[in-house]
A and B are shown apart, each in its own frame.
Chain A
């Protein structure tokens, strides 16, 4: 029944070692989003894909990249994780980009050692 699936649930990486988080969806939604949520803070949008069109937020660091090879999957790549990148990373989907409900996955908690 899971509609937006994130793996793994917990990820530990080393300072500077590239890491990839994955998200898949069974809703066939056109839009996929990545949010970063630090402890006791609100989720912050990093970027989103409308189909294959990538849309970066202006303040998203270059260290964060994303790939969407097909409708169902989207990946978040952190090229050189720093201690400040430790956070919960949330994937969400919506049918379209205009006034639609967002559906979130359960998140990946990233630790950087």
Chain B
């Protein structure tokens, strides 16, 4: 099956700093989504982005499908950005997403 690698696995940020999270995948994809899992376990869908660039407030994402990677940018980080960020992909178009191992982000005040 498709392999999904996320880097860095762990990241500590000072509040107000910017960061970039990376997701590499081993095959072409029809579906790529970024999720944020908060400390209580809730998974929030941030972006549906199989290609191109999207922005939502302080967050933005870019997927370069031809080069098999996606980036999630966090600008002016806040403590509420803490949690695990997951990249999930599907290469068959059937919505059975394979998740990466996540980026653990801690934002300190």
Contacts and interface: CB of A to CB of B under 8 A. Distances in A.
Interface in B57-101: 86, 88, 90, 93-97, 99-101
A19 B99 CA distance: 26
Nearest to A92: B43
B45 A104 contact: yes
Nearest to B32: A99
Contacts, number: 59
Interface of A: 31, 37, 41-45, 48, 57, 88, 90, 92, 94, 96-104, 106-107, 109
13 contacts: A31-B95, A42-B99, A45-B96, A57-B96, A90-B43, A96-B95, A98-B93, A98-B95, A99-B50, A101-B45, A104-B42, A106-B42, A107-B41
